[in-house]
Amino acid sequence: MKTISSYKSLLYSLVLFALFGAIIWTINVLGQSIFPGYKLFPLFMRSIILAPLLMLCYYVNYRFIEKNALNNEILKFKAKSFKLYLGGIALACLLLATIWVVIYLIYPFEIIRNSGTKVNFATDLISYSMGNTLEELLFRGFLLVAAIRLFGKIGAIFFVSLLFGLFHLQGLGMTRGGLTMVITTFTMALLFTAVIYYTKSIWTAVTLHIAGNLILHTFGFDGTNNGLFEIRFCTSNINGNLTLLIYEFVIIAFALFLFLRSRINAS
């Protein structure tokens, strides 16, 4: 009876946390709508809105974990683990380099300077740092720890990753582009979770998340040619499904490696 009661309490906490998360994210989206663009003033106003939301989200995560007597180790920021957090940045660089090397072997390309870009690295760094940290706290803090208690490690991995993928349907709907976004963010969520399993810290996933987005979008490796550089393929006969498959395969391979390493280290 005690176990059933604790599971009911945990499920109730999950629903309540989801409600808090929805409110926090809605306020964030409203801030982006009211103050759009990347000039100094709108960026400053969005940051003013998002900073307290981040602190609130961290507090809510911590309180729900404590309330349900769960392990709060992953939320702690430890100075001695700073090398692990830097490792998240290194992993992002290695991951994207691997993906593009494999693509290059199939579809050779050149990287050229994009003279028409208006990218500002400083504003991108601030935006991604705050936004991606919020996403990690919403999906891989209390939610992940609670899901492990409810569904076990494997079940939690797929549950949280699926939620993260569906979360990115915003503004896309059930279209081909929306489905592609769900698939890619689902597999990235697998990697973020693998990093947390391996390092026992959400902050390594945070640095990986931020660095990955910065490299993809700021430097122009997301295929939109809106970054500092442009990818120019030597042929126009590019199979989009194959490049997507390469992307997914490399990410899943990295995630599996980290999951296996975390199991070996735990044994």
Alpha-carbon span 161 to 183, nearest angstrom? 10
The H or E element that residue 72 is part of is: none
Q: Which amino acid is present at 33?
A: S
Do the beta carbons of residue 167 and residue 236 sit within 8 Å? Answer: no
Residue-wise pLDDT for 233-251, tens only, equals 988 888 888 999 999 999 9
Q: Which residue has the tokens 């899901």?
A: 147
Q: Tens place of pLDDT for every residue, the chain, 267 residues? A: 445 558 889 999 999 999 999 999 999 999 999 999 878 899 999 999 999 999 999 999 999 999 999 999 999 998 888 999 999 999 999 999 999 999 999 999 998 888 777 778 888 899 999 999 999 999 999 999 999 999 999 999 999 999 999 998 876 667 777 888 899 999 999 999 999 999 999 999 999 999 999 999 888 887 677 788 888 898 888 888 899 999 999 999 999 999 998 876 665
Pairing between β-strand 109-113 and β-strand 229-233 as defined by DSSP bridges? antiparallel
Residue-wise pLDDT for 213-223, tens only, equals 999 988 888 76
What ranges do the domains of the chain cover? Answer: 74-266
Count CB atoms within 10 A of the CB of residue 6. Answer: 13
Count CB atoms within 10 A of the CB of residue 234. Answer: 9
SS3 state of residue 230: strand
Alpha-carbon span 35 to 53, nearest angstrom? 16
Q: What letter would DSSP give residue 221?
A: T
